[in-house]
Structure 1
Amino acid sequence: MAGFRFRLQKLLNLKQQLEDKAKNELGLAMKAHELEKRKLALLDAGIVRISDDFRQACSGTIRPERIQAIRTWLEVQKTAREQQLDAVKKSGENVDKVRVKLVAAMQEKKILANLRDKEFEKFLKQEAHNEQKLTDELVSYRESVKITAVGMEGQ
């Protein structure tokens, strides 16, 4: 009985490697996206804190220089937030792009894996057929030997 050998095994192995690489890229992209979202959350928390400081500065004793400094810092933080929103959007788009790449790699690998499975099933059927044929020949041979032996005893 010869062993099963898939003729496209090297290509299947390559597709598996590409899938694994895409999975790693997706993990890194998702990690980077989460980092950008955390940075945005920190900026949002800072803006809330600065806004509270601004409200406090505007109530009670009014010090115009302090109010102006807080207002300027608040504007800087809002600009940084807008930039961070863009960074979050870009990292999210990157995650989507890498995810599409991963899905394509998974589909290509799945096609080859299904082909391998079909060829293996065909191989098993052929082997079973060959074994049955061999068994039939052996039984036929034994029967012919018995008949010949019985025929020779009668002479």
Structure 2
Amino acid sequence: MKFRLESILSLKENIEQVKQKELADAFAKKQAILIRQQSYIDAKDHLNQTIKDSLNGSITPQELIINTRYIGVLDTQIQNIQVEITNVDAEIEVKRLALVEAMKERKILDNLKEMQLEEFRKEELLEDQKLTDEVVGYRYIQRERGEDESGH
């Protein structure tokens, strides 16, 4: 027995797989952004520590200005990355909802397939029952005819 919507079910399964990959890609994108953010934070922390250590020693005003400006650049980069994270979180949510919808559509077709298979099994059982009833009826008639003929 072939499910009449098998091609559509197959398409829905493929769509679901694509949506899963898109969601995984969005999570990977976020992970890459978080790694980049952490590298900026680490660089800023290292630079702050370097400035702090240099204040006890000899640091030129020019070096202090350069380091302070670089910290400002890092702060800007960290803020920009925070915006990227917010955007990718929204993208992840959209992709998650799309995946949930694709899963629902596939599940509906899976349920229809199961219902059709169950209906097919019921019909097969009824056909088997009819065939059994016919065989039993035929044997009964044969037995009755045999008894009638021998009883005469």
Give the structure 1 partner of residue 31 of structure 2: 34
The count of aligned residue pairs is 152
- Identify the residue that residue 82 of structure 1 maps to in structure 2: 79
Q: In the alignment, residue 104 of structure 2 is paired with which amino acid? A: Q
Which residue, out of 113, 126, 129, partners 2:123?
126
Gaps of 5+ in 2: none
Structure 1 position 62, deviation (Å): 4.6
Please state if 1:103 is matched with 2:100. yes
Secondary structure at the counterpart of residue 2 of structure 2: coil
Give 1:59 shift.
3.0
Task: State which of 129, 137, 140 in structure 2 corresponds to 1:140.
Answer: 137
Q: TM-score, normalised by structure 1?
A: 0.92
- Correspondence list, 1:39-118, <5 A: 39-118=36-115
With over 3 angstroms needed to count, the CA separation of the structure-2 counterparts of 1:68 and 1:15, relative to structure 1, is same
Query: What amino acid sits opposite 2:131 in the alignment?
Result: L
Distance 1:90 1:58 in 2: 39
What is the CA–CA distance in structure 1 between the aligned matches of 2:148 and 2:13, rounded to whole Å? 64
RMSD: 1.3
Q: Distance in 1 between matches of 2:148 and 2:23?
A: 78
SS at match of 2:99: helix
TM-score normalized by structure 2?
0.93
Provide the rounded CA distance (Å) in 2 between the counterparts of 1:94 and 1:62: 46
2-structure distance, mates of 1:59, 1:67: 13
Identity of aligned pairs, percent? 26
* Paired letter, 1:12: L
**Unmatched segments (≥5 aa) in structure 1:** none
